[in-house]
Structure 1
Amino acid sequence: MPQTSPLAGQVVLITGASAGIGAGLAQVLADRYIGVHLVLAARNVGKLAHVAEQCSKAGAEVITVPTDMAQIDQVQALAKTALDRFGRVDILVNNAGYGQMGPIELIPPEAVQRQLQVNVLGAIALIQALIPAMRDQGGGRIINVSSLAGKIAFPFGGLYSASKFALEAVSDSLRRELTPFNIRVSVIEPGPVSTEFFDVVDKEIDHTIVDPEHSPYRVAFKKLEDLEKQTSSRAWTSEQVAIVILKAMTDRNPRPRYVAATSGDFLLFMMTKVLPTSLVDKFWQRFYGIDLVAKDWQSRKKSAKLDP
């Protein structure tokens, strides 16, 4: 049953709202809160329109703003459109992002640049564009969707982790800088989520890694193909993560971080506070198949020497 508080009349801007967590959050807000105003942004115009239609049917006032977060001018235009339409933005949910997967050695510079543009620079630009309005209106909330990978760097996920580590650092600084203006900043750290994430990962590998079958990491690439199966039993739905984001939006005193993963707090504690780094390294090397690379590489070198 829709509620009239605490988000009634508030304006919520969600990036990456055409699918996954962003779409799930938009629908939860529309279903639960009467009078909420939604500004939905994403690149996929068709999917964005479908999400907006469903939210409108639930009673929310919705506008869509097609936006590529890698294009700073589009990000700034998104902020202006929201403010021109509603006169304020009460809650910003920086959710847009994707995972650039593969060995750092093999990812071309343009792919490195886009990873940081979308996940970090675009988010910063949107925050910068909205802070003055939030300050003038007496406060607001900024919620940045990070990942467990924002605390733990995995093999083949170094660039994704770099972007999320950066977003976490930005969030910590913002939280301390914006307290005088009643602007609260929180980070959401999901674990595996049942979204299109792994489909995007596969496409990115196909587009950016030249001939993975013949790379020094080929055996690890093979194991990466089964990563979704390995994590599916622990994956949350987009709606489950949306409920955690909702807590960050409505808690009277929002926490700096909300973990949205089964046993996520325990995992982070063990991996960052308890276990020695050497043991953590071996665990992740085995999980991602890096432990198989040395034997395969030596075998290939030996075979190449024997061939006439």
Structure 2
Amino acid sequence: MPNPLPPLAQQVILITGASSGIGAALAQSLATRYPGIRLVLAARTAVTLEQLATQYRQLGAEILVVPTDMAAPEQVQTLATTAIAHFGRVDSLVNNAGYGQMGPVELVPIAAAQHQFAVNVLGVVGLIQALIPTMRQQGGGRILNISSIAGRLAFPFGGLYSASKFALEGLSDTLRMELSPFNIQVSVIEPGPVQTNFFQVATQGVEQTIPDPQKTPYRAAFAQIETLEQRVGDRAWSSEQVVAVILKALTDPVPRPRYLAATGGRVLLFLMTKLLPTKMVDGFWQRFYGIDLVERDWKNRLGSLPRITVR
């Protein structure tokens, strides 16, 4: 029989993206519930991490802060080696760091697409690769990859983000099978809308990568994107609600491959992937994200162009 993991209170848990949102809420919850727990907190903002670490230490947790840019492979490797050197093991890894690059695929610069995959996929791969040998040697481990409903459903203007989360889902499925002989269990958490700074970061990303959206053929849809947070607000979960799902995944004796963290998520996935015709699903998302307005606007613009007569 494989060696069981220690109780959560005795584990070393590494959390990426720990300076805000779901990552910070998870660290807060673990430090509050399990005095003496050992946490490795990683994010780019060292100052914020240290401030949070001070709070968690006052709750009795032992904290190691490792500032890390998940898009930098050498920093990801340093994160793993530092955690192992300090605590001697890592029992559970929560790959939470990530962001959403929004915008029509046509207009997202290749450099921005590369960065999206560097953070959301390749950084995860590098960290898992670096930790597998230690988890195997210690008798097991648990890996939670924070994906998204967007890793099961694709939406207009979210193509690069969805592609990165689809990749993370496929990676997790493969790892779940490959690592089971070593008692390393892999699960995916799939949140829907969450009350974090996700939408603000996404909006900033659009502004940085698409300087003048009103001059693009997609101009009619950009106004819809700006109101997206307000339109999904009534269905958005708090970070603490998502943390409750993560804690279940960390403590289930036999963890499930996937944990949904979205209101009506099961019904939505069933409708969109099993029941409704693809054309109907496409039409729904096109209307929701304003692609129908793009079509109308484009036809109007074509109609206003002078006709060219070929003799």
**TM-score normalised by L of structure 2:** 0.95
Distance 2:10 2:154 in 1: 40
Matches within 5 A, 1:84-123: 84-123=85-124
Distance 2:169 2:256 in 1: 13
AA partner of residue 237 (structure 1)? S
Q: Which residue of 2 aligns with 1:33?
A: 34
AA partner of residue 206 (structure 1)? E
Q: Which residue of 2 aligns with 1:144?
A: 145
Paired residue total: 302
1:56 aligns with 2:57: yes
Q: Which moved more, 1:295-304 or 1:123-132?
A: 295-304
Distance 2:222 2:127 in 1: 35
For structure 2, the residue ranges without an aligned partner over 5 or more in a row are: 1-5
How big is the shift at 1:304?
A: 4.2
AA partner of residue 293 (structure 1)? V
Distance 2:177 2:97 in 1: 23
Q: Which residue of 1 aligns with 2:3?
A: none
Q: Which residue of 2 aligns with 1:227?
A: 228
Question: Is the CA contact (8 Å cut-off) linking 1:16 and 1:41 kept in structure 2?
Answer: yes
Q: Which residue of 2 aligns with 1:254?
A: 255
Question: Is the CA contact (8 Å cut-off) linking 1:139 and 1:181 kept in structure 2?
Answer: yes
Distance 1:232 1:50 in 2: 29
Distance 2:84 2:179 in 1: 20
Partner deviation per Cα, 1:88-120 (whole Å, 9 max, x = no partner): 000000000000000000000100000000000
Matches within 5 A, 1:200-215: 200-215=201-216
For structure 1, the residue ranges without an aligned partner over 5 or more in a row are: none
Find the residue that maps to 1:97 and give its secondary structure.
coil
**TM-score normalised by L of structure 1:** 0.96
Q: Which residue of 2 aligns with 1:13?
A: 14
Q: Which residue of 2 aligns with 1:302?
A: 303
Question: Is the CA contact (8 Å cut-off) linking 1:10 and 1:35 kept in structure 2?
Answer: no
Question: Is the CA contact (8 Å cut-off) linking 1:44 and 1:66 kept in structure 2?
Answer: yes
Distance 1:293 1:8 in 2: 53
Q: Which residue of 2 aligns with 1:196?
A: 197
Say what the alpha-carbon RMSD is for the aligned residues: 1.1
Q: Which residue of 2 aligns with 1:129?
A: 130
Find the residue that maps to 1:199 and give its secondary structure.
helix
Distance 2:268 2:295 in 1: 28
